[in-house]
Chains A and B, each alone.
Chain A
Amino acid sequence: MISTQLYELTLAEAAASIRAKNVSPVELTEAYLSRIEAVDGKVQAWVTVAADHAMQAAKEAERQLMLGRYLGQLHGIPYGAKDIIRTASIRTSGGSQVDGDYVPGTNAAVIDRLGNAGAVLLGKTTTTEYAYQGGEPPTRNPWNLKHTPGGSSSGSAAAVSAGMAAFTLGTQTFGSLIRPAAYNGLTCMKPTFGRISRYGVFTASWSLDHIGAFTRTVEDTAITLEVLAGGDGRDPSTLQGESPRFTGAIGRDVRGLVVGLPDTFFEAEEPVIGEAVAQAVEVLKGRGIRFKQVKLPGCMKEAIAAHRMTMRAEGAAYHMESYKTRADYYGPSMREQLELGFELSAVDYLHAQRVRSVFRNEMMSLFGEIDALLTPSTPTLALPGYKTGSPMFNGPFTNAGLPAMTVPIGIDSSRQLPIGMQLAGPLMGEETLLAIGHQYQQATSWHLQSAPIGL
């Protein structure tokens, strides 16, 4: 075993220790709560730490183990959830003052799924206001406290990066999983649209919202996805039928797979990112993957405009009732987007959805000639200050509902900030991305590096 502290274990390592009864769920939960106590003053990833709730769940997980009832690899594993995901009896603020003291009576579907798998909820992590742009929380990047962890899933990314949870849940409507994961040196999958139920999660945009998990390794991503994925009649956008066995996919042979390198659009602003991506390509070539240049759809600009219009319109529709009476409680940046959403006509909204249909079809055609696409995860490294950075490299895959994953591929030595590469695939193409990402992590150790948490 590489790690020495319990909070440094990967999820898979912790799961193996629990199953072998070398570590108990209570010990592991205590270790994470102590870590939160020690470092969250600097990082500020948590809105609510539900210590009593967590210890109760950990004791129950331990009791089940003693009875011989092992529920799988998430049994006894402590995690956090973004504060737009409803948690029964635990405040769900949405990162907003609109209804900041809201305590739900029931759990979101993902919280129930994780609970049924024996996972232990530690608490709720910070978010921008309702996962929109603006309303940035005070959360800091554990790699360099002067910099943003990204957003909107700011706290979820920072918590895992700082060793305050084995994994966390976040959401992505533009780039809110992949971007913060890359900024924090984490591995994270935004799965195919509909793969994970959004039931019980505050909506940013019905047709764009995705749920995913922040983890340290591809193996851990596969473990979480396997539990989270599945149809749910309460979220009619979920994919029906049996979900794949994602943990089985990571060992797949990747030799001969063809990965596309886009000819335009995904050009990083910082040379250090381009250099890291070029090195990652060489690593993957060494694992038998072939590369080819590919041409992106001609309607990239229109697709981005359609994406932004969709967010504004659907956000305005979702918040319409509370905005009537509580407009002044919304932050100025979110309010700006809602105001623009109210201005948009039905005809323009539908036109934007038609543009999205064209874009998605063209992206799917592209995947007729390649197995996956490789790009930098972000145009820049994590920015200094509080603005959460550009999601532009992540938006196209959110817009089209295609799966995308980020994997750490380097660290900028001058600023001590991580660099990520993004792998994207066709609809339901998660298994190929997991296999490629896992092969990369078999050959490198970037994913095993820990954030120093210092100024």
Chain B
Amino acid sequence: MGVQQEAEYKAFLELERSRYRSGLVTGEEKESFLEELKLLRSFRMDDQVAPYTTYRGGAGR
């Protein structure tokens, strides 16, 4: 990595870290999480709709 590239990358990492100085979850992400939760909870579905599943059997553990 060149000197300038390294400096730019370090600055980027520092900027990323600085977003979390006030806590583990940023206010913006928490707000987005709560909005998505509200959106999902308000979505009405036929009661016959089952959860999406992906495992089809097999050896397991």
Contacts and interface: CB of A to CB of B under 8 A. Distances in A.
A453 interface: no
B55 A237 contact: yes
Given A353-B52, A354-B45, A140 B5 contact: yes
Interface residues of B, number: 36
A389 to B, nearest CB: 14
A240 B52 contact: no
A285 B43 CA distance: 39
B56 A237 contact: yes
Interface in B19-43: 19-20, 24-26, 29-30, 33, 36-37, 39-41, 43
Given A134-B16, A354-B49, A309 B56 contact: no
Interface residues of A, number: 50
B54 A233 contact: no
B25 A355 contact: no
A392 to B, nearest CB: 14
B58 A358 contact: no
A129 to B, nearest CB: 11
Contact of B41 (A193, A207, A351): A351
Contacts of B54: 193-194, 206-207, 237, 401
Interface stretch (A69-77, A272-280, A298-306): A298-306
Contact of B57 (A236, A305, A331, A344): A236
A90 B1 CA distance: 23
B50 A354 contact: yes
A255 interface: no
B40 A358 contact: no
Contact of B40 (A194, A352, A386): A352
A299 B41 CA distance: 13
Contacts of B25: 336, 339-340
A258 B48 CA distance: 32
A240 B51 contact: no
B55 A336 contact: no
Interface of A: 41-42, 44, 134, 136, 138, 140, 145, 193-194, 206-207, 233-238, 240, 299, 301-302, 305-306, 308-309, 312, 331-333, 335-336, 339-340, 343-344, 348, 350-358, 360, 385-386, 401
Interface of B: 1-2, 5-6, 8-9, 12, 16-17, 19-20, 24-26, 29-30, 33, 36-37, 39-41, 43, 45, 49-60
Which 7 pairs across A and B sit closest by C-beta, in order of nearness? A236-B58, A353-B51, A305-B36, A356-B52, A332-B20, A233-B59, A353-B52
Given A41-B2, A42-B2, 9 more contacts: A145-B5, A305-B36, A335-B20, A336-B20, A340-B29, A352-B40, A353-B52, A354-B50, A358-B49
